[in-house]
Amino acid sequence: MAFQIVINLIIAIMWMFLGESYTTPSFIAGYLFGILILYLLRRLIPGKFYFSRVISIIKLVLLFIKELVLSNIAMIKYIYSPKQIAEPGVFALPLDVKSDWEITLLTSLISLTPGTLSVALSDDNSKLFIHAMNIDDVNESIYDIKNSFEKAIMEVTR
Amino acid sequence: MTETEILFHIIVNILIILSILIGSFLILSASIGIVRFPDIYTKLHAATKASTLGLAGVLIAAFMFLYIQHDIVSGKLLLAILFMFITNPVSAHMISRAAHKKGIKPVIKNRKDAYEQYKENIKTN
């Protein structure tokens, strides 16, 4: 990935020299042009095309914002309901992601999504204990976390 | 000013008002939630989620106001939002973990606490 970024920067600088204009816009134009060249030659260059990873990072950020808004709506429902409608509880989530960096990202995502708050991590990094606002739909939230968050994180890191 | 500029100003002002209102409403809700919920874990739910988006709303409103009134692009406000998104969930995790390690039990009706069971298993082995 680093190799591809270096090639992309070299193409951008070459574009500036060929155009004889040493300004920021021409650098950006060269950089975009470099992305196009890397995309067309992606079979000949070792490693995955790096810009697909940038796209998956953008997707992850958008997913995060969407979940944050949804969780606030759910939170307001819990706060202003006259009786306590929620039944809190703690459940364990088996983790597929392994490295520290991925787990940190996943816990932050979980803490800001509807009705879940990460409490602790087991010693061997295999289970995450989550406090849920409504324990009755635990299976649903496990399914959500497994399918949307872990998948999105793995797309970024692998 | 031309007509389109006036229209643009009005629209941005409406956006500023809306995001300040939503932001302060969310922060108010967070504080009500902290008072109303029964135990520390549910209180933390209210404190992290609602206040994160609420503060982000207020800061975005401040950013738009500075841009439209004084022509300042304030990067500090955007950085503040970014750091809040990074630090808020981490601090919530640390507080709840510390509380659980200290032995504060969450309010749970007729169900088992998974983390409590895990800790007991480790002790017995």
**Global pTM value:** 0.78
Residues A55 and A79 reside in one and the same domain: yes
For residue A45, being part of any structural domain is answered with: no
Number of Cβ atoms within 10 Å of the Cβ of B123: 7
How far apart are the C-alpha atoms of B81 and B53, rounded to whole Å?
9
Smallest Cβ–Cβ distance between A88 and the set B36, B53, B108 belongs to B108
Q: Are residues A15 and A54 in the same domain?
A: no
Task: Please indicate, yes or no, whether residues A28 and A88 belong to a single structural domain of this protein.
Answer: no
**A86 near B CB under 8 A:** yes
B 19-78 residues with CB below 8 A of A? 26, 29, 32-33, 36, 38-39, 41-42, 44-46, 48-50, 52-53
A71 in the same domain as A16: no
pLDDT over 70 percentage in chain B: 94
Give a yes or no: residue A114 inside a domain.
yes
By Cβ distance, the residue of B48, B97, B111 closest to A120 is: B97
For the residues of chain B, what is the DSSP string, one character each?
--HHHHHHHHHHHHHHHHHHHHHHHHHHHHHHHHHHSSSHHHHHHHHHHHHHHHHHHHHHHHHHHHHHHH----HHHHHHHHHHHHHHHHHHHHHHHHHHHHTPPP--SSS--HHHHHHHHHHH-
Q: Among all residues of chain B, which has the CA nearest to that of A82? A: B36
- Claim to verify: residue A109 and residue A62 sit in the same structural domain: yes
**Residue B111: per-residue pLDDT:** 66
Any domain includes A82: yes
- The distance of A64 to chain B (nearest Cα, Å) reads 10
Let me know whether A112 and A145 are in one domain.
Answer: yes
| A72 and A30 both lie in a single domain | no
Whole-complex ipTM: 0.76
Residue that wins the pLDDT comparison between B124 and B15: B15
Q: Are A59 and A118 within one domain?
A: yes
- Tell me the residue range of the domain where A16 lies: 2-40
Residues A83 and A123 in one domain: yes
- Looking at residue A86, its pLDDT comes to 67
**Based on the domain organization, do A140 and A109 belong to the same domain?**
yes
Cβ distance A105 to A57 under 8 Å? no
The answer to whether B82 contacts chain A (CB < 8 Å) is no
pLDDT averaged over every residue in chain A = 82
| Residue A146, in any domain of the structure | yes
CB-CB neighbors (< 8 A) of A131 in chain B: 41-42, 45, 96, 106
Q: Under DSSP, is residue A89 helix (H, G, I), strand (E, B) or coil? A: strand
pLDDT digits (tens, 9 = 90+) for B57-116: 999 999 988 888 888 888 888 898 888 888 888 888 888 888 888 877 777 766 666 677
* Count of residues in chain A: 158
How near does any CA of chain B get to the CA of A43, in Å?
Answer: 36
- Contact list, B100 vs chain A (CB under 8 Å): 119-120
Q: Please check whether residues A83 and A122 belong to one and the same domain.
A: yes
| Average pLDDT score over residue span A11-22 | 86
Residue ranges of domains in chain B: 3-124
Asked if the Cβ–Cβ distance from A89 to B111 is below 8 Å, we say yes
Q: Would you list the DSSP string of A16-57? A: HHHHT--SHHHHHHHHHHHHHHHHHTTTTSSS--HHHHHHHH
Same domain assignment for residues A59 and A36: no
Take residue A20 and report the two structure tokens written for it. 């004889």
Which of B30, B29, B24, B28 has its CA nearest to residue B62? B24
